[in-house]
A and B are shown apart, each in its own frame.
Chain A
Amino acid sequence: MNKLRIAFIILIGIIFFSACEKDDICVEGDTPLLVIRFYDETDTINTKNVTTLRVVGLDQTITVNTFSDRTSADSLAVPLRLGTTSTTYLLIANSADEDEVEIGNTDTLTINHETKEVFVSRACGFIANYENLTPSLETDTDNWIKNIEVISSTVENSETAHVKIYH
């Protein structure tokens, strides 16, 4: 009889332990950022820094959290807006305040995109990839952005540039 009892105990034990699961923490992936690189307008092979660049999302009160505000850089990574088909950023070159008024040159860049969900893992669930990137620049009297070129129309990672901006 004892053998039967011991077996019962073992069985119950296994069932209890089978309820334990490995910690489901998402480490496998994340929704990528859009990477923009700034190139020289005349010497189109070389990158060129934008001085004291400030990047603000349209209708946002704070500057984008992926770029240190008012620094000079030749590349920029920004999050695209999920749940809509377009994302608009105000790119301000030579940004500075004078009497609390922005005196930099503001260009408005709108990027249209399609969103595709990609399943990463049980813990992460779905991330977004973007397809059919089509940037458009709002023309004003004094655009500092001269030309825009899409290198990769799909955004699957944040490692390489997707859009080139000439200035």
Chain B
Amino acid sequence: MKNEYLPEVVRITAIEDVARDVRKFTLGTALACRPGQFVQLTLFGIGEAPISVSSAPGEELELSVKKVGSLTTALHRFGVGDRVGVRGPYGTGYPEFGEGERVVLVAGGIGLAPLRSFIRANLGKCEMQLFYGARTSADLAFKEEYGEWQKKGMEIYKVIGAKEEGWDGPVGNPIEILGPVWPGASALMCGPPVMINFALKKLEEKGIPRNRVYVSMERLMRCGIGKCGHCMVDGTYVCRNGPVFRADSMPAEAP
């Protein structure tokens, strides 16, 4: 019987800073991941956490991790050649879209990490718009790649939270820049819960109903495979039934 709890030991092969406090770790393994799925990352002796995949299928596994808690802070001290553990991929991914289909991406902060996987897998295949907001310009992730994405036909709209020297773009939150959204398109979303709630309303006004919007949910998970119970919301396991949910069937709980 396969022991699904045992991580594969892999080495970090490359590290790159992709935003303030966000590092992209390339791991010496290529798992068959679909965009939107996650892996369980182990730092031996420290712990394990679910991390979304930000590489495209077939590429070397890349995880983009923001320094927020004790495990992610510890990871930021890791260097090339250090060993970590990986198991997965787990969860549902984003749905697949056909040639030329229009997909609107809405991201907040590090929420762009799983969407990057989708972007890399669908550049030149789907028509994509990205609406991306971050607290400051330093928090906008994967800046170096925007040029290539735009060259391949993607529209990118950026917004930051407060005025800043040298920033001539809009200031506010991602909801305020959703004006040019393609009506009738599908949408993928990942970001803080507040952003998601408001963006869903705005998208509906703009002609993208909830049954065409797919949202990445986040919950503390310990096992990632529907056993530990931590991510259960109203009878649904976020790890197993999600983390990507269609917006009209997202689980929610009464207070």
A and B physically associate: no
Q: Using CB atoms and an 8 Å cutoff, list the residues of chain A in contact with chain B.
A: none
